[in-house]
Protein backbone atom coordinates (compact mmCIF):
# COMPACT_ATOMS: atom_id res chain seq x y z
CA UNK A 1 0.00 0.00 0.00
CA UNK A 2 3.01 2.29 0.43
CA UNK A 3 4.05 4.39 3.34
CA UNK A 4 1.98 7.15 4.92
CA UNK A 5 3.66 10.56 5.11
CA UNK A 6 2.45 13.75 6.68
CA UNK A 7 4.00 16.60 4.71
CA UNK A 8 4.05 20.35 4.76
CA UNK A 9 3.99 22.37 1.54
CA UNK A 10 4.34 25.86 0.13
CA UNK A 11 1.59 27.16 -2.10
CA UNK A 12 1.51 30.36 -4.10
CA UNK A 13 3.59 33.46 -3.48
CA UNK A 14 2.60 33.57 0.18
CA UNK A 15 4.50 31.23 2.48
CA UNK A 16 2.19 28.78 4.25
CA UNK A 17 2.17 25.30 5.59
CA UNK A 18 -0.26 22.60 4.54
CA UNK A 19 -0.90 19.11 5.77
CA UNK A 20 -1.50 16.26 3.40
CA UNK A 21 -1.29 12.51 3.38
CA UNK A 22 0.68 10.75 0.68
CA UNK A 23 0.05 7.13 -0.09
CA UNK A 24 2.33 5.40 -2.54
CA UNK A 25 3.45 8.78 -3.80
CA UNK A 26 -0.06 10.13 -4.43
CA UNK A 27 -1.07 13.24 -2.52
CA UNK A 28 -4.46 12.97 -0.87
CA UNK A 29 -6.43 16.03 0.13
CA UNK A 30 -3.73 18.63 0.96
CA UNK A 31 -5.06 21.30 3.26
CA UNK A 32 -3.47 24.68 3.73
CA UNK A 33 -3.11 25.96 7.25
CA UNK A 34 -2.70 29.71 7.54
CA UNK A 35 -1.86 31.55 10.73
CA UNK A 36 -1.11 35.19 11.36
CA UNK A 37 2.44 36.29 10.76
CA UNK A 38 5.10 34.82 8.59
CA UNK A 39 5.91 31.22 9.48
CA UNK A 40 9.45 30.18 10.01
CA UNK A 41 11.22 28.45 7.20
CA UNK A 42 11.30 25.13 9.03
CA UNK A 43 7.53 25.22 9.68
CA UNK A 44 5.86 22.56 11.82
CA UNK A 45 7.25 19.13 11.15
CA UNK A 46 5.89 17.23 14.16
CA UNK A 47 2.48 15.65 13.84
CA UNK A 48 2.57 14.82 17.56
CA UNK A 49 2.58 18.55 18.38
CA UNK A 50 -0.65 18.91 16.40
CA UNK A 51 -2.17 15.91 18.16
CA UNK A 52 -1.38 17.60 21.47
CA UNK A 53 -2.87 20.86 20.15
CA UNK A 54 -6.06 18.96 19.29
CA UNK A 55 -6.15 17.39 22.75
CA UNK A 56 -5.84 20.78 24.50
CA UNK A 57 -8.47 22.30 22.21
CA UNK A 58 -10.88 19.49 23.10
CA UNK A 59 -10.10 19.13 26.82
CA UNK A 60 -9.73 22.92 27.40
CA UNK A 61 -6.90 22.30 29.88
CA UNK A 62 -3.34 21.03 30.00
CA UNK A 63 -4.19 18.45 32.65
CA UNK A 64 -7.14 17.13 30.64
CA UNK A 65 -5.04 16.93 27.50
CA UNK A 66 -2.29 15.23 29.47
CA UNK A 67 -4.67 12.47 30.53
CA UNK A 68 -5.77 11.96 26.93
CA UNK A 69 -2.19 11.86 25.65
CA UNK A 70 -0.66 10.13 28.70
CA UNK A 71 1.69 13.06 29.25
CA UNK A 72 2.25 15.30 32.23
CA UNK A 73 0.71 18.81 31.97
CA UNK A 74 4.14 20.51 31.89
CA UNK A 75 5.12 18.51 28.81
CA UNK A 76 1.82 19.38 27.14
CA UNK A 77 2.44 23.07 27.86
CA UNK A 78 5.94 22.91 26.39
CA UNK A 79 4.70 21.22 23.22
CA UNK A 80 1.97 23.83 22.75
CA UNK A 81 4.54 26.58 23.25
CA UNK A 82 6.79 24.95 20.66
CA UNK A 83 3.93 24.83 18.17
CA UNK A 84 3.08 28.49 18.80
CA UNK A 85 6.73 29.43 18.32
CA UNK A 86 6.94 27.51 15.04
CA UNK A 87 3.76 29.20 13.78
CA UNK A 88 4.68 32.57 15.28
CA UNK A 89 1.19 33.04 16.64
CA UNK A 90 -0.78 32.55 19.85
CA UNK A 91 -3.17 29.60 19.70
CA UNK A 92 -4.72 29.69 23.19
CA UNK A 93 -5.76 32.24 25.79
CA UNK A 94 -5.76 31.01 29.38
CA UNK A 95 -8.86 31.94 31.38
CA UNK A 96 -10.51 30.79 34.64
CA UNK A 97 -12.55 28.37 32.54
CA UNK A 98 -9.44 26.84 30.97
CA UNK A 99 -7.72 27.21 27.63
CA UNK A 100 -9.70 29.06 24.94
CA UNK A 101 -8.76 29.09 21.28
CA UNK A 102 -7.73 32.36 19.66
CA UNK A 103 -8.90 33.15 16.12
CA UNK A 104 -5.68 31.67 14.78
CA UNK A 105 -6.16 28.63 17.01
CA UNK A 106 -9.72 28.14 15.75
CA UNK A 107 -8.48 28.23 12.15
CA UNK A 108 -5.75 25.72 12.95
CA UNK A 109 -8.25 23.47 14.72
CA UNK A 110 -10.43 23.25 11.63
CA UNK A 111 -7.51 22.32 9.39
CA UNK A 112 -5.87 20.01 11.94
CA UNK A 113 -9.08 18.01 12.29
CA UNK A 114 -9.17 17.56 8.52
CA UNK A 115 -5.58 16.35 8.62
CA UNK A 116 -6.40 14.02 11.53
CA UNK A 117 -9.25 12.43 9.59
CA UNK A 118 -7.05 12.06 6.52
CA UNK A 119 -4.40 10.34 8.62
CA UNK A 120 -6.93 7.93 10.07
CA UNK A 121 -8.28 7.05 6.63
CA UNK A 122 -4.80 6.55 5.25
CA UNK A 123 -3.53 4.39 8.08
CA UNK A 124 -6.72 2.32 8.01
CA UNK A 125 -6.00 1.60 4.36
CA UNK A 126 -2.36 0.75 4.97
CA UNK A 127 -2.86 -1.61 7.91
CA UNK A 128 -2.93 -5.26 6.94
CA UNK A 129 -5.55 -7.47 8.58
CA UNK A 130 -2.79 -9.22 10.55
CA UNK A 131 -1.73 -5.90 12.10
CA UNK A 132 -4.86 -5.88 14.27
CA UNK A 133 -4.38 -8.23 17.18
CA UNK A 134 -7.27 -10.38 18.33
CA UNK A 135 -7.99 -13.40 20.47
CA UNK A 136 -6.83 -14.12 24.01
CA UNK A 137 -3.35 -13.55 25.42
CA UNK A 138 -2.48 -14.40 29.01
CA UNK A 139 0.42 -12.75 30.84
CA UNK A 140 1.90 -14.07 34.05
CA UNK A 141 3.49 -11.41 36.22
CA UNK A 142 4.72 -10.74 39.76
CA UNK A 143 2.28 -8.54 41.61
CA UNK A 144 4.50 -5.43 41.55
CA UNK A 145 4.29 -5.08 37.78
CA UNK A 146 0.78 -6.56 37.75
CA UNK A 147 -0.55 -3.89 40.13
CA UNK A 148 1.37 -0.77 39.17
CA UNK A 149 2.32 -1.19 35.49
CA UNK A 150 0.27 -3.72 33.57
CA UNK A 151 -3.23 -2.25 34.18
CA UNK A 152 -2.53 0.97 32.30
CA UNK A 153 -0.18 -0.66 29.78
CA UNK A 154 -2.67 -3.37 28.84
CA UNK A 155 -5.55 -0.90 28.75
CA UNK A 156 -3.59 1.14 26.23
CA UNK A 157 -2.89 -1.90 24.05
CA UNK A 158 -6.50 -3.08 24.26
CA UNK A 159 -7.73 0.34 23.19
CA UNK A 160 -5.67 0.05 20.01
CA UNK A 161 -6.76 -3.57 19.43
CA UNK A 162 -10.47 -3.94 20.28
CA UNK A 163 -10.54 -7.60 19.28
CA UNK A 164 -7.86 -8.54 21.79
CA UNK A 165 -8.63 -10.13 25.18
CA UNK A 166 -5.78 -9.70 27.66
CA UNK A 167 -5.60 -11.70 30.88
CA UNK A 168 -3.18 -10.81 33.69
CA UNK A 169 -2.36 -13.57 36.17
CA UNK A 170 -0.82 -11.78 39.17
CA UNK A 171 0.95 -14.30 41.36
CA UNK A 172 4.18 -14.00 43.36
CA UNK A 173 5.87 -16.99 41.78
CA UNK A 174 7.67 -18.20 38.66
CA UNK A 175 5.31 -19.26 35.86
CA UNK A 176 5.73 -22.54 34.00
CA UNK A 177 5.38 -21.73 30.30
CA UNK A 178 6.05 -25.32 29.32
CA UNK A 179 2.77 -26.25 31.00
CA UNK A 180 1.14 -23.27 29.22
CA UNK A 181 0.17 -21.50 32.44
CA UNK A 182 0.54 -18.31 30.40
CA UNK A 183 1.45 -17.25 26.87
CA UNK A 184 4.29 -15.13 28.23
CA UNK A 185 5.58 -14.08 31.61
CA UNK A 186 7.33 -11.14 33.21
CA UNK A 187 10.11 -12.06 35.61
CA UNK A 188 12.69 -10.26 37.74
CA UNK A 189 15.50 -12.62 36.75
CA UNK A 190 16.41 -14.38 33.51
CA UNK A 191 15.93 -18.16 33.64
CA UNK A 192 18.89 -20.24 32.50
CA UNK A 193 17.04 -23.50 31.87
CA UNK A 194 14.21 -24.59 29.62
CA UNK A 195 13.35 -23.94 25.98
CA UNK A 196 12.60 -20.29 26.45
CA UNK A 197 13.09 -16.96 24.69
CA UNK A 198 14.22 -14.31 27.16
CA UNK A 199 14.20 -10.59 26.47
CA UNK A 200 15.37 -7.94 28.92
CA UNK A 201 12.63 -5.30 28.92
CA UNK A 202 13.86 -2.56 31.22
CA UNK A 203 15.67 -1.81 34.44
CA UNK A 204 13.89 -0.27 37.41
CA UNK A 205 14.89 1.14 40.77
CA UNK A 206 13.85 0.68 44.39
CA UNK A 207 14.45 2.68 47.57
CA UNK A 208 13.74 2.41 51.25
CA UNK A 209 10.60 4.39 52.01
CA UNK A 210 8.24 5.25 54.84
CA UNK A 211 5.09 7.28 55.42
CA UNK A 212 5.46 10.81 56.70
CA UNK A 213 3.05 9.85 59.50
CA UNK A 214 5.50 7.16 60.63
CA UNK A 215 8.66 9.25 60.35
CA UNK A 216 7.41 12.14 62.49
CA UNK A 217 6.76 9.83 65.46
CA UNK A 218 9.92 7.71 65.31
CA UNK A 219 13.66 8.31 65.65
CA UNK A 220 15.45 9.96 62.75
CA UNK A 221 16.99 7.63 60.18
CA UNK A 222 20.46 8.82 59.19
CA UNK A 223 22.25 5.56 58.42
CA UNK A 224 21.41 1.96 57.54
CA UNK A 225 22.33 0.99 61.12
CA UNK A 226 19.52 3.24 62.40
CA UNK A 227 17.01 0.89 60.76
CA UNK A 228 17.60 -1.62 63.54
CA UNK A 229 15.46 0.59 65.81
CA UNK A 230 12.53 0.70 63.38
CA UNK A 231 9.72 -1.58 62.31
CA UNK A 232 10.53 -3.20 58.98
CA UNK A 233 7.99 -4.09 56.29
CA UNK A 234 8.90 -6.72 53.72
CA UNK A 235 8.39 -10.17 52.25
CA UNK A 236 7.58 -13.27 54.27
CA UNK A 237 11.10 -14.75 54.32
CA UNK A 238 10.22 -18.32 53.37
CA UNK A 239 7.92 -17.15 50.55
CA UNK A 240 10.49 -15.16 48.59
CA UNK A 241 10.34 -16.91 45.23
CA UNK A 242 13.30 -15.17 43.58
CA UNK A 243 16.68 -14.23 45.07
CA UNK A 244 16.41 -10.81 43.37
CA UNK A 245 13.57 -9.97 45.77
CA UNK A 246 15.54 -10.62 48.97
CA UNK A 247 16.29 -6.92 49.46
CA UNK A 248 16.39 -6.80 53.25
CA UNK A 249 18.97 -9.56 53.61
CA UNK A 250 21.38 -7.44 51.58
CA UNK A 251 20.86 -4.66 54.15
CA UNK A 252 21.49 -6.94 57.11
CA UNK A 253 17.87 -6.72 58.34
CA UNK A 254 16.85 -10.12 59.65
CA UNK A 255 13.56 -9.32 61.38
CA UNK A 256 10.47 -8.29 59.39
CA UNK A 257 7.77 -6.98 61.72
CA UNK A 258 5.07 -6.67 59.06
CA UNK A 259 5.31 -9.11 56.17
CA UNK A 260 3.38 -10.17 53.08
CA UNK A 261 4.14 -12.16 49.95
CA UNK A 262 2.54 -9.28 48.00
CA UNK A 263 4.54 -6.15 47.22
CA UNK A 264 1.27 -4.25 46.82
CA UNK A 265 0.20 -5.20 50.35
CA UNK A 266 3.64 -4.18 51.63
CA UNK A 267 3.23 -0.79 49.99
CA UNK A 268 -0.11 -0.22 51.67
CA UNK A 269 1.31 -1.31 55.02
CA UNK A 270 4.02 1.32 54.61
CA UNK A 271 1.47 3.94 53.56
CA UNK A 272 -0.55 3.24 56.70
CA UNK A 273 2.48 3.99 58.88
CA UNK A 274 3.46 0.38 59.46
CA UNK A 275 7.20 0.97 59.18
CA UNK A 276 10.08 1.22 56.74
CA UNK A 277 10.36 -1.00 53.68
CA UNK A 278 11.67 -1.26 50.15
CA UNK A 279 9.37 0.29 47.54
CA UNK A 280 9.59 0.31 43.75
CA UNK A 281 10.14 3.84 42.47
CA UNK A 282 7.38 3.25 39.91
CA UNK A 283 4.98 2.48 42.78
CA UNK A 284 5.61 5.70 44.71
CA UNK A 285 3.16 7.81 42.65
CA UNK A 286 0.43 5.39 43.82
CA UNK A 287 1.38 5.78 47.50
CA UNK A 288 0.70 9.36 48.53
CA UNK A 289 2.34 10.40 51.77
CA UNK A 290 5.20 7.93 51.34
CA UNK A 291 8.70 9.24 50.70
CA UNK A 292 12.16 7.80 50.19
CA UNK A 293 14.47 7.18 53.15
CA UNK A 294 18.29 7.10 52.92
CA UNK A 295 17.95 7.75 49.19
CA UNK A 296 21.62 8.76 48.94
CA UNK A 297 22.80 5.58 50.68
CA UNK A 298 20.50 2.81 49.47
CA UNK A 299 19.49 2.56 45.80
CA UNK A 300 18.60 -0.85 44.42
CA UNK A 301 18.42 -1.70 40.73
CA UNK A 302 16.65 -4.66 39.20
CA UNK A 303 15.30 -5.59 35.76
CA UNK A 304 12.17 -7.01 34.18
CA UNK A 305 12.47 -9.83 31.63
CA UNK A 306 9.82 -10.97 29.18
CA UNK A 307 9.83 -14.73 28.76
CA UNK A 308 8.16 -16.75 26.02
CA UNK A 309 8.25 -20.41 25.06
CA UNK A 310 10.67 -21.23 22.24
CA UNK A 311 7.89 -22.96 20.30
CA UNK A 312 6.19 -19.57 19.91
CA UNK A 313 9.12 -18.02 18.08
CA UNK A 314 7.26 -18.00 14.75
CA UNK A 315 3.94 -16.92 16.20
CA UNK A 316 3.47 -13.50 14.60
CA UNK A 317 0.58 -12.56 16.89
CA UNK A 318 2.50 -13.23 20.11
CA UNK A 319 5.64 -11.62 18.72
CA UNK A 320 3.74 -8.46 17.82
CA UNK A 321 2.08 -8.34 21.23
CA UNK A 322 5.43 -8.90 22.97
CA UNK A 323 6.90 -5.94 21.09
CA UNK A 324 3.99 -3.70 22.05
CA UNK A 325 4.11 -4.84 25.67
CA UNK A 326 7.86 -4.34 26.01
CA UNK A 327 7.82 -0.86 24.52
CA UNK A 328 4.87 0.21 26.66
CA UNK A 329 6.43 -1.19 29.85
CA UNK A 330 9.68 0.68 29.22
CA UNK A 331 7.80 3.92 28.67
CA UNK A 332 5.59 3.45 31.74
CA UNK A 333 8.48 2.64 34.08
CA UNK A 334 10.34 5.73 32.85
CA UNK A 335 7.25 7.92 33.26
CA UNK A 336 6.42 6.77 36.78
CA UNK A 337 10.02 6.87 38.01
CA UNK A 338 10.26 10.44 36.74
CA UNK A 339 7.18 11.32 38.82
CA UNK A 340 8.42 9.53 41.96
Answer yes or no: are the C-beta atoms of 188 and 280 closer than 8 Å: no
pLDDT at 242: 78
Q: C-alpha 236: how far from its chain's center? A: 30
Which of the four pLDDT bands, split at 50, 70 and 90, describes residue 216? Answer: very high
Percent of the chain at pLDDT > 70 equals 79
List phi, psi (to 5°) of 207: -140, 155
Helix (H) or strand (E) holding 119: helix 103-126
Residue 290, CB-side half-sphere exposure with 13 Å CA sphere:
28
Answer yes or no: are the C-beta atoms of 137 and 154 closer than 8 Å: no
Among 269, 261, 337, which Cα is nearest to 299's?
A: 337
pLDDT at 182: 82
Helix (H) or strand (E) holding 92: strand 92-95
Segment 181-198 shows an average pLDDT of 86
Q: Which domains does the chain have, with CATH numbers?
A: 4-127 (1.10.10.10), 131-202+303-339 (3.40.190.10), 204-300 (3.40.190.10)
Which has more confidence, 92 or 43? 92
pLDDT tens profile 99-157: 889 999 999 988 887 777 666 555 444 444 456 788 889 999 998 999 999 999 999 99
**Looking at the whole model, is its pTM more than 0.75?**
no
Which of the four pLDDT bands, split at 50, 70 and 90, describes residue 7? Answer: very low
d(C-alpha 275, C-alpha 277), whole Å: 7
Amino acid sequence: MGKVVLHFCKTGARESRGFGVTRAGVRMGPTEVSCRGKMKRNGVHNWDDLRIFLAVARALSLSGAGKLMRLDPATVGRRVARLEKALETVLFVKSPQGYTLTEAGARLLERAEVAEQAMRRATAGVAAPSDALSGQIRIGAPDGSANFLLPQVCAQIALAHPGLDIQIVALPRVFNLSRREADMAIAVSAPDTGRLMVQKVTEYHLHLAAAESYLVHHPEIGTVQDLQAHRIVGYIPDMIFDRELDYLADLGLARVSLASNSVSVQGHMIRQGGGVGVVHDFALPFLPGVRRVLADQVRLRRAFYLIRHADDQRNQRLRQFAELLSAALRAEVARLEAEA
